[in-house]
Structure 1
């Protein structure tokens, strides 16, 4: 049974919040971000601003997944993580 839209948004925000607060993460978390984002992008409630936000986060997860140092990648995106978390609250 698929998880509901708001639950997906909460999961997305939780993973990003963990990355921001802990400055570390796993490839599995990046893959989870990608799956959730793909699901959110096909949802009819997703507006253009949200789509752009999701694309940015998707690119972040793709780059992080293949990064030689995921923790360094996360650390270098601290400002974006903060902004994305705030944006998710605004759009959801």
Structure 2
């Protein structure tokens, strides 16, 4: 079943919120973030401001997959994650 962009944005927020609150992220979560973001970036219904945040989240995910210290990685991005979630809330 294909998720529409609203469901994709909700899932994206849920994953980011969980990673931030638990200070933990798995490779499969980062890969899921990347798949969601690729789908959303291809969607013309997504606002340009949100696309920039999605690109930043994608970079965060890329770095997270390769991080040797997942907790430190998430801690370094804590304020960014908060801002991204706020952006996602504005457009979902």
TM interval, short-chain normalised:
over 0.9
Aligned 8 A contact 1:24 1:75 in 2: no
TM-score by length of 2: 0.95
Gaps of 5+ in 1: none
CA distance in 2, matches of 1:72, 1:42: 31
Q: How many matched pairs?
A: 92
User: Over aligned residues, Cα RMSD in angstroms?
Assistant: 0.9
Gaps of 5+ in 2: none
CA distance in 2, matches of 1:47, 1:7: 16
Stretches (4+) displaced over 6 A: none
Aligned 8 A contact 1:24 1:71 in 2: yes
TM-score by length of 1: 0.95
